C-alpha cells in the first residue's frame, strides 16, 4: 500500500506535513468528520494522484484559529489530479484522466444539484446544505493538500481536460479552476458586470485579483481594486486595474471619484469577508466594513457580488455578535438604493468548463493575474506563513514534482 503525506492544521498559526492514510473509497472517521458521514461508501468516487493543490485564503482563516476547525484536519479544497483508481460505479471517468475538482462537493442527484446549485448540495453534509474538501463543518471530506485524495461522485463532478499534454503546459492556470477563478468570476457575474461597466473590487488577495481579471473578461470599462496592502495593489495594477490604497487614504468614495469623475460604480465585489479591517492608518478589525463600503459606492439599482467568506462561528471575533456571524450592516442603505446582493459558495460547475476553454484558448491569463507561485509539499508551512503576512502570491503545491 502506498503512503500519503498531507498538510495538516495543528493549532492556531501552525500547519505541519504529516504521514497519513492512503485514501480509500470510503469516508473514515477522523478530525472534523461528521459522525453521520463515517463509513460512507464511495464506489461512485475515484482516487487521485494530486498534480497541483493550492493554498486558499479560506484555509488561512482556519489556520489563524478563526474557525472551529479541529486540530489534525487535513487541509485543501483546490485540487487538480490524475485518476489512478476508479470505483465500481464510475462509468465515464477513466484511469489516467487529468481532472479539475470543484471545491464544493455535490451528489448530482438532489434538488439543488439538478437546479445547478451545486454549492448547496443536500446530500453531502449532514449539518447543512453545501460541502467542501478539508474544511470545517463541511461534512468531514478529507482535504487535498496531499499526495493522494479521494473524490466522490466522480462522473458528475470532475472536469476532464481534453488533452493532458496541453493541459500540463497550462497547469498553473488550470489549477485555478477548482476554486478561485470560478469564485472570482461568480462574484463578477453576480455583481452584474457587463461591457462598459465600472467595477469596484474590495480586496486584492488571490480571489480579488481573480474577480478583477474576470471583470475584464466580461468587458468592464474600468476595474478599481481596493486594499490596505501596497504589494497586492501593485499586482492588481500589473494587469491593468486602477487601485485605491485604503491604508493611506480612508476616503473610498473620494478616491473612486478621482478615477471616474463620479463617487459611485455600477457594480461592486466583496473579496475580503469576515476578517475585514477598517480603513486608514490606524485601522483595526471591523468585519462589516467592506459590506457597508460597497453599498456606499455602488449606484442605485446596482448589484453586489459577495464571494468573500462569512461564517457562523468565529471564536477570534472582535465582539460577541461577530462570533456568531451577526454584523452591523447598514441594510437600510442597500434597501434605499435597491441593491441586489448575491452571497454564498460559488457553484463551480456552472463556470469551470467555460473558463477552462478561455484558458486553453489563451483568452484568460489567470496564473499571471494572481502571481501563481509553485512550491513543494514540504514548503507549504512556510508558504502559509508568507501568505499570512500578505505576500502577493497564489501558492500552488506540486506534491510529486510533476510540473515543469
The separation between the first and the last C-alpha atoms of the chain, rounded to the nearest angstrom, is 28
Predicted confidence at residue 283, as pLDDT, reads: 83
**Per-position b or e across 121-154, b if 16+ CB within 10 A of its CB:** bbbbbeeebbbbbbbbbbbbbbbbbbbbbbbbbb
For residue 149, the cross-strand partners are: 48
DSSP letters along 221-274, please? SEEEEEES-HHHHHHHHTTT-EEEETTT---HHHHHHHHHSSS-EEEEEE-S-T
Residue 204: phi and psi, rounded to 5, are -110, 30
Nearest CA among 61, 27, 79, 92 for reference residue 311? 61
Q: How far apart are CA 71 and CA 202, in angstroms?
A: 31
**pLDDT for res 2:** 73
Q: Which three cell numbers stand for residue 301?
A: 439599482
Confidence (pLDDT) at 19: 97
Which of 142, 136, 152, 168 lies closest to 51 in space, CA to CA? 168
**pLDDT the model gives residue 249:** 95
Residue-level pLDDT, tens digit, the chain, 404 residues = 478 999 999 999 999 999 999 999 999 999 999 999 999 999 999 999 999 999 999 999 999 999 999 999 999 999 999 999 999 999 999 999 999 999 999 999 999 999 999 999 999 999 999 999 999 999 999 999 999 999 999 999 999 999 999 999 999 999 999 999 999 999 999 999 999 999 999 999 999 999 999 999 999 999 999 999 999 999 999 999 999 999 999 999 999 999 999 999 999 999 999 999 999 987 889 999 999 999 999 999 999 999 999 988 889 898 999 999 999 999 999 999 999 999 999 999 999 999 999 999 999 999 999 999 999 999 999 999 999 999 999 999 999 999 98
Bridge partners for 340 per DSSP: 303
User: Helix or strand or coil: residue 315?
Assistant: coil
pTM, whole model, 2 decimals?
Answer: 0.96
What domains lie within the chain, and their CATH numbers?
5-179+348-397 (3.90.180.10), 180-343 (3.40.50.720)
Cα 339 to the center of its chain, rounded Å: 24
146: enclosing H helix or E strand: none
Amino acid at each position: 500500500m502506498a503512503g500519503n503525506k498531507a498538510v495538516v492544521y495543528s493549532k492556531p498559526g501552525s500547519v505541519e506535513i504529516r504521514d497519513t492514510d492512503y485514501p480509500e473509497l470510503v469516508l473514515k472517521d477522523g478530525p472534523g468528520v461528521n459522525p453521520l458521514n463515517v463509513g460512507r461508501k464511495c464506489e461512485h468516487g475515484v482516487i487521485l494522484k494530486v498534480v497541483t493543490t493550492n493554498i486558499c485564503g479560506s484555509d488561512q482563516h482556519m489556520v489563524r484559529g478563526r474557525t472551529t476547525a479541529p486540530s489534525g484536519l487535513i487541509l485543501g479544497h483546490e485540487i487538480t489530479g490524475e485518476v489512478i483508481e476508479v470505483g465500481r460505479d464510475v462509468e465515464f471517468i477513466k484511469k489516467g484522466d487529468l481532472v479539475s475538482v470543484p471545491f464544493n462537493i455535490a451528489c448530482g442527484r438532489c434538488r439543488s444539484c439538478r437546479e445547478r446549485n451545486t454549492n448547496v448540495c443536500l446530500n453531502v453534509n449532514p449539518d447543512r446544505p453545501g460541502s467542501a474538501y478539508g474544511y470545517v463543518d463541511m461534512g468531514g471530506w478529507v482535504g487535498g493538500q496531499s499526495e493522494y485524495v479521494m473524490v466522490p461522485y466522480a462522473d458528475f463532478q470532475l472536469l476532464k481536460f481534453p488533452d493532458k499534454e496541453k493541459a500540463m503546459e497550462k497547469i498553473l492556470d488550470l489549477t485555478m479552476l477548482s476554486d478561485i477563478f470560478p469564485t472570482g468570476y461568480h462574484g463578477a457575474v453576480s455583481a452584474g458586470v457587463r461591457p462598459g461597466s465600472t467595477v469596484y473590487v474590495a480586496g486584492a488577495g488571490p480571489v480579488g485579483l481573480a474577480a478583477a481579471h474576470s471583470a475584464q473578461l466580461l468587458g468592464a470599462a474600468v476595474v478599481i481594486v481596493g486594499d490596505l496592502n501596497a504589494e497586492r495593489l501593485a499586482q492588481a495594477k500589473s494587469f491593468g486595474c486602477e487601485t485605491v490604497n485604503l491604508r493611506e487614504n480612508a476616503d473610498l468614495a473620494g478616491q473612486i471619484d478621482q478615477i471616474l469623475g463620479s463617487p459611485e460604480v455600477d457594480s461592486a465585489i466583496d473579496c475580503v469577508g469576515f476578517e475585514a479591517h477598517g480603513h486608514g492608518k490606524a485601522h483595526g478589525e471591523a468585519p462589516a466594513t467592506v459590506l457597508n463600503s460597497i453599498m456606499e459606492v455602488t449606484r442605485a439599482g446596482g448589484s453586489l457580488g459577495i464571494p468573500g467568506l462569512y461564517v457562523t462561528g468565529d471564536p477570534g471575533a472582535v465582539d460577541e455578535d461577530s462570533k456568531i456571524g451577526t454584523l452591523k450592516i447598514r441594510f437600510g442603505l442597500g434597501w434605499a438604493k435597491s441593491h441586489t446582493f448575491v452571497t454564498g459558495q460559488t457553484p463551480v460547475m456552472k463556470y469551470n468548463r467555460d473558463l477552462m476553454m478561455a484558458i486553453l484558448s489563451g483568452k484568460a491569463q489567470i496564473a499571471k493575474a494572481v502571481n501563481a507561485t509553485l512550491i513543494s509539499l514540504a514548503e507549504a508551512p512556510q508558504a502559509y506563513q508568507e501568505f499570512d503576512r500578505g505576500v502577493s502570491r497564489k501558492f500552488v503545491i506540486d506534491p510529486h514534482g510533476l510540473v515543469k
